[in-house]
Structure 1
Amino acid sequence: MPLLCFRSLLKKAFTFNETGPKHFFLNFNYPARRKANFFYWEHLFFKNLALLGLLLAVNVLLTGCSPDTPEKIRLVHQKRKVMLTAHRGASGVAPENTLAAIQKALDSPADFIEIDIHQTQDSQLVVMHDATLDRTTTGQGAIAAHTLADIKKLDAGSWFKPEFKNEQVPTLEEVLRLVKGRKKLLIELKKGRDFYPGMANQVIALLRQYRAREWCVLQSFHDEILQQIWQNEYHVPTHKLMVGKLPLLPVYFDTSLRFGSFDKYYRASAINVHYYFASRRFVKMVHNAGFKTFVWTVDDPAEINKLVNRGVDGIMSNAAATLAVE
């Protein structure tokens, strides 16, 4: 009974939100009134979450400042190559999730190119991070409320720099044609206010059409989307995205607070977390469970080298096009 109460307390305590390309936060919704018979569990709760509260009660700034003389990064750990992933394409030098960013990522040292996809009103797959058009285009409102033709009329580049004016929002099909297996593509399947109908099957069909299953990986925060992929496709690798896991407790965060082990993700090849949670202990635990781990999103070379030394398998970075790699 106390464990059930504790689980209820945790679920009420946190809500995960992603506020843009560089920040996320956890809302602390802890009720003001405490019950005496929760004392032990509340004590354990605060003991294990003290560090988390210090780190994540405010927005976490994910990007570091580049020094005048960039530190080189070494993407090898115990003779094993660590995969550098261009987050939203080469988003440090071009507008995220555009063909310009994809092309610059193709010209970079990155091993993977990461993109995000949503579904339009007319069921077309477009490459954007947010569920709305407001932040990275001249449009407004939900992607799901606009047709592809409407979205193609928008400027998706000038918000970043004037030289990218009139850059369009690409479709997944356009990205597949551009990449052509020259690098691996890590595709995150997103959701809007609701889950997009049939999106997972659409993605799988496109990968088959372009013979891209050997060089694409699918990932999502949402278990419902991963289940749809697993039911219909056995050849494309999948990654489970989450914020992180609490040490010593069977508690982890994806879009909300969850309880239990990672056993139910046995069909995924990797568990990908925010780099603040990628301790040496966590990396060892994930590896012992049979998973790899790619961490998101870190641009500082010194921090990247620390993570490589901890044994992570992949680094997602906005700065993949500008990092100095040994």
Structure 2
Amino acid sequence: MDTEKDKMIIAHRGESFIAPENTLASVQLAWNKGVKAVEVDVRLTLDNQVILMHDKTTKRTGDINNVIAKSTLDELRKVDIGVYKGKKWRGEQIPKLSEVLKTVPVNGKLIIEIKSDSEIIGPLVDVIKSSGLAAHQIEIISFNIKILAKVKKLLPQNKVLWLLDLDYYLPAWMLYVNTQKIIRKLQQHKLDGVDVWAGKKINALFVEQVKRCKLLVYTWTTNDIKSARNLLAMQVDAITSDKAGWLIDQL
């Protein structure tokens, strides 16, 4: 039986601790482990195909260094993005978003992080609308609030959340987080919540203030039980993890 905690754990780029990130293998492994929500990153190719990839190039995860925006889908399909995780994953290709959407189970949800600029919006919306999935099964996240505002107008029924790094880059003591300003921006653009770095700046007060306005609070990226339990105690709506299947078992 599904528990509420099962539904709150999001697989970061699929089961990326085990399998190569942003691949059909990592996504399918998450579903097989009983994870109910999977997060992936998308970029636009030279020939306007929406594909899964976090970085601007394939250098980190591939055996060939291609720039995504300057490469066609056919060129990118020749890159092996599995072998960096070990021989077991050799031959894994960069998937199209449409291929990944076909794997989403009836009780599953795909969370799509936009990594490209605004030119991806049209192709992305077309892929989502043609997927046949219900609006509650696809959510959109991005650090770019202007992109999110445009997406929300085109997909008003889908949840759209603003990614915030808070103290990811800076020591917490150097950073002042204006929660009310964040809330006003969310309301201005009719967004559904935030997806924030699970660092020192997120606390029970931040979560309470955001949720009081009927907005969601997701977090990224947590790979240990103590941190996950602390976040659950703060009443966050979801926790993103590289070890989603393992984290669900432990909780």
Query: Which structure 2 residues correspond to residues 26-105 of structure 1 after superposition, within 5 A?
Result: 76=5, 83-105=8-30
**Whole-angstrom distance in 1 between the partners of 2:35 and 2:183:** 28
* 1:303 maps onto 2:227 in alignment: yes
State whether residues 149 and 191 of structure 2, in contact with CA within 8 Å, keep that contact through their aligned partners in structure 1. Answer: no
* 1:291 maps onto 2:212 in alignment: no
**Whole-angstrom distance in 1 between the partners of 2:105 and 2:51:** 18
Structure 2 counterpart of 1:262: 183
* 1:321 maps onto 2:245 in alignment: yes
Q: TM-score, length-normalised on structure 1? A: 0.68
Structure 2 counterpart of 1:169: 94
Q: Residue 179 of structure 1 aligns to a residue in which SS?
A: coil
State whether residues 7 and 35 of structure 2, in contact with CA within 8 Å, keep that contact through their aligned partners in structure 1. Answer: no
Counterpart of 2:184, as a letter, is D
Query: Which structure 2 residues correspond to residues 194-273 of structure 1 after superposition, within 5 A?
Result: 195-197=117-119, 199-212=120-133, 213-244=135-166, 249=176, 251=178, 260-266=181-187, 267-273=190-196
Distance change (3 Å), C-alpha of 1:183 and 1:215? same
Give the Å deviation of 1:204. 1.7
State whether residues 152 and 158 of structure 2, in contact with CA within 8 Å, keep that contact through their aligned partners in structure 1. Answer: no
Q: Residue 84 of structure 2 aligns to a residue in which SS?
A: coil
Once the two structures are overlaid, the 10-residue window that deviates more, 102-111 or 241-250, is 241-250
Q: Deviations over 1:197-216 (max 9, x none)?
A: 2x122222222112223310
Counterpart of 2:126, as a letter, is A
Give the Å deviation of 1:320. 0.7
Give the Å deviation of 1:223. 1.4
State whether residues 132 and 140 of structure 1, in contact with CA within 8 Å, keep that contact through their aligned partners in structure 2. Answer: yes
* 1:124 maps onto 2:49 in alignment: yes
Pairs aligned (count): 239
**Whole-angstrom distance in 2 between the partners of 1:221 and 1:158:** 29
State whether residues 66 and 76 of structure 2, in contact with CA within 8 Å, keep that contact through their aligned partners in structure 1. Answer: no
Counterpart of 1:282, as a letter, is F
Distance change (3 Å), C-alpha of 1:251 and 1:214? closer
Distance change (3 Å), C-alpha of 1:196 and 1:120? farther
Q: TM-score, length-normalised on structure 2? A: 0.88
Structure 2 counterpart of 1:18: none
**Structure with the larger helix share:** 2
Once the two structures are overlaid, the 10-residue window that deviates more, 235-244 or 115-124, is 235-244
Give the Å deviation of 1:264. 2.2
For the pair shown, the structure with the greater C-alpha radius of gyration is 1
Counterpart of 2:56, as a letter, is A
State whether residues 299 and 318 of structure 1, in contact with CA within 8 Å, keep that contact through their aligned partners in structure 2. Answer: yes
Structure 2 counterpart of 1:36: none
Q: Residue 239 of structure 1 aligns to a residue in which SS?
A: strand
Identical-pair percentage: 28
Query: Which structure 2 residues correspond to residues 155-166 of structure 1 after superposition, within 5 A?
Result: 155-166=80-91
